[in-house]
Amino acid sequence: LHQVEAAILGPLIGWFIDRFGAQWVIRAGVVIFGAGFILLSYIDSLLAFYGAFIVTALGASLCGFFPLNVALIMWFERQRARALSSMQIGMALGGLALPLVAWALAAFGWRATAFASGVIIIAACLPLSFVIRRRPEDIGEVMDGAGFRSRDPVSESKYENDASTRDFTAREALRTPAFWLVSLGHGFALFVVQGVNTHAITHMKEGLGYSIELASLVIMLQTVAQLGGVGLGAWIGDRFDKRILSALCMLGHMSGLLFLTFATGPAMIVAYAILHGAAWGLRGPLMQAIRADYFGRSAIGMILGLSLMIIVVGQVGGPMIAGILADMTGNYRAGFTVLALLAGLGSVFFLVAKRPARPLRAAA
């Protein structure tokens, strides 16, 4: 439900970010997100629960992954993948707070924990959000890797029509094959990611005979590999063609999932965890970086927002395909095989998603 809500609101949030800056969206999101947890602590009916959930989900969309990506894209070009990967590591480290949350739930109950969480979110994150600035140009800085831009009108006209610097509008981006190919490749990756996230432990337990404890260790290894992939992406993401790296990651998803599907021993399970986790960690930040490289910064909020409406099919469809085919066949082999083949097809989409030529625009 949250993913569908984020996809529906994506273009609107993207338009607002492009027009007013990600910092305002993030600040509003922090307040709404915290308020959602506070409301959750007071619920006394199913309707109230749904209301609190909607508020929390809205806040998460406004201050979460999407606007934070845009905020970083505005500041980095030459080291864009490194910046986005570093943010991904920070978000992953947030999982270290789970034991503290579990302790608070046991010690104080869910209502007190929800209320305290809301207060902490607002008190800690709202001041931090004021560090964010819209663009480096607004405070006299230059984007990492960007050259000096002359303010001479003639030079500016030439700059605006320079094929290497001109940004796409959202409408221009929609007319390029690259927008659709990258979005389809990203969506096919999420078929695998969300399908595995939902069903991997059940498959290992019921299909492979693993205990819950052993299956959890496999997921832990996958998480470690994912962090390793994020770190690798920070190192190589700006050194090599992001299109090729993304295609290789899709092959990693495909291979890893096939190892999980047809595993006959621990070695194949370990191979799954390493391949899938590393591919996920490396590929994730590249999805936003490649769009910014291809289409520029000016309308990147709207472009990413429109992309959400495509990739949500993978977020919702992956678990459904695996689950429906498991109900029909009695195991996850058919469903996981279909998802693996989709990952292989996604690699082709990335391979052919070449950088579009930036159209010239008549000088004013």
pTM of the model: 0.87
For residue 101, the model assigns a pLDDT of 86
The two tokens of residue 220 are: 């832990």
Cα atoms found within 13 Å of the Cα of residue 330, Cβ hemisphere only: 0
Tens of pLDDT, residue by residue over 65-121, are: 899 999 999 999 999 999 999 998 877 777 667 778 889 999 999 999 999 999 999
For residue 97, the model assigns a pLDDT of 77
Cα 127 to chain centroid distance, Å, stands at 24
For 225-238, give one letter per residue: b (16+ CB within 10 A) or e.
bbbebbbebbeebb
Closest by Cα among 249, 314, 308 to 281: 249
Angstrom distance (rounded) from CA 358 to CA 123: 43
Amino acid (one-letter) located at 326: A
* Structural domains of the chain ordered from first start: 2-137 (1.20.1250.20), 171-352 (1.20.1250.20)
Residue 32 φ/ψ region, left for φ over 0, alpha for ψ in the -120 to 50 degree band, beta for the rest: alpha
DSSP string, 16-67: HHHHH-HHHHHHHHHHHHHHHHHHHTT--SHHHHHHHHHHHHHHHHHHSHHH
Tens of pLDDT, residue by residue over 257-272, are: 999 999 999 999 999 9
Low-confidence ranges of the chain (pLDDT < 70): 1-2, 95-96, 145-165, 361-364
For residue 146, the model assigns a pLDDT of 56
Q: Which residue has 């695996």 as its token pair?
A: 322
Angstrom distance (rounded) from CA 200 to CA 188: 17
Of the chain, the end-to-end C-alpha distance in Å amounts to 45
Rounded to 10 degrees, what is the CA torsion of 336, 342, 343, 345? 150
DSSP string, 338-351: HHHHHHHHHHHHHH
Q: Confirm if 250 and 206 have CB atoms less than 8 A apart.
A: no
For residue 297, the model assigns a pLDDT of 93
For residue 177, the model assigns a pLDDT of 97
For residue 2, the model assigns a pLDDT of 64
For residue 159, the model assigns a pLDDT of 42
For 132-148, give one letter per residue: b (16+ CB within 10 A) or e.
bbbeeeeeeeebeeeee
Q: Confirm if 168 and 306 have CB atoms less than 8 A apart.
A: no
The neighbour count for residue 204, using CB atoms within 10 Å, is 23
For residue 155, the model assigns a pLDDT of 41
For residue 364, the model assigns a pLDDT of 47
Angstrom distance (rounded) from CA 84 to CA 80: 6
